[in-house]
Structure 1
């Protein structure tokens, strides 16, 4: 990606040891760029940062209402969870509610990122299930939509009615024709857009309100679900959960693989999208925290902000050897 700018520095003692470069866009609800770093036109795969867009048809189709989905389930549809008990139990309950089972998932089994659940599986001599996949909430949403549409079981196929609906919603809120898709880690298509397009979509979510149209009502419901249940969107100690809590429910946040991150800021009607070009998650977390501080949404002195904004680097003996911090252009 050309024209990327310095966004995050990695220091070891007095030496600048590494630099992460990237792109970021802040967009308002008219679709206009408020501020940008790097190239707003860079074509990106938003990965899991697009889960709210992928969940829109779950609501707009009537599937969520028909199956009496709760706000917590809508949050899980947007989640990249760490497979803690609160996530696994909730997704299993959702599957039972719609008459499906683990084998109906098209996402692959994944070792839980929650240490307690992982260790319990090892002690029991059990392999991880598909429900442990960090995207299982999204896939429960896909299964619910497929059932509602009376569509076939291969709901991750690009020409399946579920993914056709996702693509249509994606293009509507980014206001772009997607140039194509890549297959995500969970086997679903991940549609590409410009970085500006993703920021524009997040601004749409930020300005959305119930009763302002089907798509707007759905976007508002998903945003509210995320800020009400930050623990379901990621998990304890993870950036999305901890930074949403630190922002006091005023911002919805969602990370994506390969160092993507978005923010939805309803009170300012602003959307943020950023991409670190080397795929370094540590840099994306630092950069989104810096932008939230810049916009007055995050107190830089909050412990969660300090965890990601000026993250200490420690060696194996626990000694602090340096830090990760925003580059001057971003700080």
Structure 2
């Protein structure tokens, strides 16, 4: 990656032990860069941070309305959830309403990250199902759109109408032609864009509530659903959930694998995109918290903010050994 900027430091006692570099862009509603660190032209895979874009055709096609989808289901369509009961019960009920079972999904089984759910499966001698996959809500949204379009069951195929619609939404919101895709952990295509493009898309979502076209109304509904149901977007103890709760409706945020994080700020009509080049989640969480504080939507004294911005590092005995913190140049 070209010219990433230093963003996050790991200190052990008085020694700087590690440093994470990356790219970050804050974009205004008109698509222009407000501030940037690293290279706004860097091409990345947004991973799960782009789920709200992938969910747009679910609404613009009329599928969401035709199937009477709730705001909870819209939040799940944008989620990387923990596989807790609050997630899997809702996904299962959604599949039931479509007359489909777990075998209709194409995301693959995944052990739930929620400890209660994971330990429950172990005690029962059961194996994880596809509904436990963190992307099962997104995939059930894909299935809903597939049903609405009368398309075939292999909805993760890049040439499937669902994925063609997702690509069209991606290129429209980023304002760029995607140079290609990689296959995500859930088997769906993940389209590449620049850092500027991803931040531009988030700014487009942030201003959606001020516009009246079909795509903007759909985007506004997705943003509202994410902010109304932060526990469904991720889960307890997760950064997305904790920080959205802390901001009380001022932002919708979404993590992605390999150090990606985005934020949608409706009141400011701004979007943020972060990519840590070594893929470290601890650094992307610190960086997004720093930028949300910088823009005045996150209280730096809130426990959820402190837990991501300057978390203490403790050893197995509980001794304080160091701290994670943003570099001074990044937050100045």
Q: TM-score with structure 1 length normalisation?
A: 0.99
CA gap 1:47/1:219 in 2 versus in 1, 3 angstroms: same
**Match of residue 193 from structure 1:** 193
2:135 paired residue number: 135
Deviations along 1:209-267, one digit per CA (max 9) or x if unpaired, are 27610110010000000000000000000000000011111100000000100000000
What CA distance in whole angstroms lies between the structure 2 residues aligned with 1:72 and 1:26? Answer: 28
Could you tell me how far 1:115 is from its partner in structure 2? Answer: 0.3
**Rounded Cα–Cα distance in structure 2 between residues aligned with 1:27 and 1:210:** 17
Question: Partner of 1:329: helix, strand, or coil?
Answer: helix
State the match for 1:181 in structure 2: 181
Which blocks of at least 5 consecutive residues in structure 1 are unaligned? none
| 2:97 corresponds to 1:97 | yes
Alignment-derived partner of residue 165 in structure 1: 165
1:209 & 1:218 partners in 2: Cα distance?
Answer: 9
The Cα of 1:150 is off from its aligned counterpart by: 0.3
The SS at the match of 2:261 is strand
What is the rounded CA distance, in whole Å, between the counterparts of 2:319 and 2:15 in structure 1? Answer: 16
State the Cα deviation string for residues 16-70 of structure 1 (Å, max 9, x = none).
0000000000000100000000000000000000000000000000000000000
For structure 2, the residue ranges without an aligned partner over 5 or more in a row are: none
Q: Check conservation: 1:210, 1:221, Cα contact below 8 A.
A: no
* Counterpart Cα distance in 1 of 2:62 and 2:210: 15
Q: Structure 1 residue 112 and structure 2 residue 112: aligned? A: yes
- In the alignment, the residues of structure 1 paired with residue 99 and residue 45 of structure 2 have an alpha-carbon distance, to the nearest angstrom, of 33
* Mapped partners of 2:57, 2:279: distance in 1: 29
Q: CA deviation at 1:156?
A: 0.1
Aligned position for 1:250: 250
SS at match of 2:35: strand
Q: Give the 3-state SS of the residue equivalent to 1:178 in structure 2.
A: coil
What is the CA deviation profile of residues 57-103 of structure 1, one whole-angstrom value per residue up to 9, with x for unaligned ones? 00000000000000000000000000111001010010011111100
1:273-301 CA distance string (max 9 Å, x none): 01000000000000000000100111111
Query: If the length of structure 2 is used for normalisation, what is the TM-score?
Result: 0.99
State the secondary structure of the residue aligned to 1:249.
coil
Q: CA deviation at 1:133?
A: 0.1
> How many residues end up aligned between the 2 structures?
331
Q: Does residue 59 of the first structure (1) align with residue 59 of the second (2)?
A: yes
Determine the structure 1 residue equivalent to 2:70: 70
Partner of 2:284: 284
Q: Cα RMSD (Å) of the superposition?
A: 0.7
Task: Supply the distance in 1 between the matched residues of 2:311 and 2:83 (Cα, whole angstroms).
Answer: 25
